Amino acid sequence: MSDCCSSGSCAETPAVSACPVSGHTGAAVELQTVKALLTETALTRIGTTAHRFCPEPTCDVVYFDAEGACYTTGDIRVPVWHKEPFGNRMVCYCFGESEGRIRAEIAAVGRSLAVARVRQHISAGRCACEVRNPRGACCLGDVTAAAKRVEATMKSAVLST
């Protein structure tokens, strides 16, 4: 099992296959990630071929393989933040960082420390993104983007009032 976060590199295997529903290029994801996150019913259908993650927010497909098997949001044990509407999505599946928590922290103290907290956990070797994150990759970039988006949304709401 690789440890993408502690290695300092979160590079993904180049995607070579497109989602059969959305047509978007899917990022390679380890079979262990797919197995860990599928419901019991969906797990009975899984093969051993390479799987990909569909990043398209409007597509219900989360994982697919070259043989045409697809697993949708209903087949996954956790909400997939890429597929959920902005607001209170879980962004860090290892340490519970969500848009709601980020928003509450900004409202309470003026900024979010989510990125710093996740970095500390990564440095301590605690992350398990390759299994817990549906994308099967380090979430630090997602947490950074989420914190920026929440902050921008909050600033925009203040300016429009």
Does residue 103 sit in the same domain as residue 137? Answer: yes
Residue 43 placed within a domain: yes
Q: How many CA atoms lie within 13 A of 107 on its CB side?
A: 11
Per-residue model confidence as pLDDT tens for the chain (161 residues): 445 454 433 333 333 489 999 999 999 999 999 999 999 999 999 999 999 999 999 999 999 998 889 999 999 999 999 999 999 899 999 999 999 999 999 999 999 999 999 999 999 999 999 999 999 999 999 999 999 999 999 988 777 66
Provide the residue type at 133 as one letter: N
Q: Shortest CA distance to 140 belongs to which of 11, 13, 5? A: 5
Say which residue the tokens 């009975």 belong to.
44
Residue 124 placed within a domain: yes
Residue 5 placed within a domain: no
Contact between 105 and 147 (Cβ < 8 Å): no
Q: Which domain holds residue 91?
A: 81-159
pTM of the model: 0.83
Q: Both tokens of residue 128?
A: 């398990």
